[in-house]
């Protein structure tokens, strides 16, 4: 099994910054694409940003220029640096990883971390 553990959420004023971290743990796995998604109550989970093991990134239009995704492959950890935060960024953020484990690809999710941006 693979576990994703997120940290770094919290309360910040509009215009401020937060950095989310997500560490993947388990035995004998390879993490391919990792990313962040977010979900507001009653809405579908939406992509925020993804990053491949080679470092290629993809961002939602709503966060381009404000958020930066990065990863440390040696630590199987992905980060999301969030700058210029807006009240509409207030949602739960979920870490996601596509993982090869025992010869099978699977998708894993973290438990979610709340980000609240006050106006």
Q: Is 15 left (phi over 0), alpha (psi -120 to 50) or beta?
A: left
% of the chain residues with pLDDT over 90: 92
Average pLDDT estimate for 47-68:
97
Please report the pLDDT score of residue 27 as a whole number. Answer: 79
106 pLDDT tier (thresholds 50, 70, 90): very high
Q: Could you report the per-residue pLDDT of 7-47, keeping only the tens digit for each?
A: 999 999 999 999 999 999 987 788 899 999 999 999 999 99
Q: Kindly give, in sequence order, each residue whose CB lies less than 8 Å from that of residue 79, ignoring residues fewer than 6 positions away.
A: 19, 20, 21, 22, 69, 70, 71, 72
% of the chain residues with pLDDT over 70: 100
């Amino acid at each position: 099994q693979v576990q994703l553990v997120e940290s770094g959420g919290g309360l910040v004023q509009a215009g401020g910054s937060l950095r989310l971290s997500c560490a993947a743990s388990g035995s004998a796995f390879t993490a391919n694409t990792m990313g962040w998604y977010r979900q507001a109550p009653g809405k579908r989970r939406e992509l925020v940003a993804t990053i491949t093991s080679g470092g290629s990134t993809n961002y939602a239009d709503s966060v381009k220029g404000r958020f930066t995704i990065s990863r440390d492959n040696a630590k199987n950890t992905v980060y999301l640096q969030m700058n210029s935060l807006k009240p509409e960024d207030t949602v739960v953020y979920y870490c996601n990883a596509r993982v090869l484990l025992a010869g099978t690809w699977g998708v894993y999710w973290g438990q979610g971390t709340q980000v609240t941006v006050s106006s």
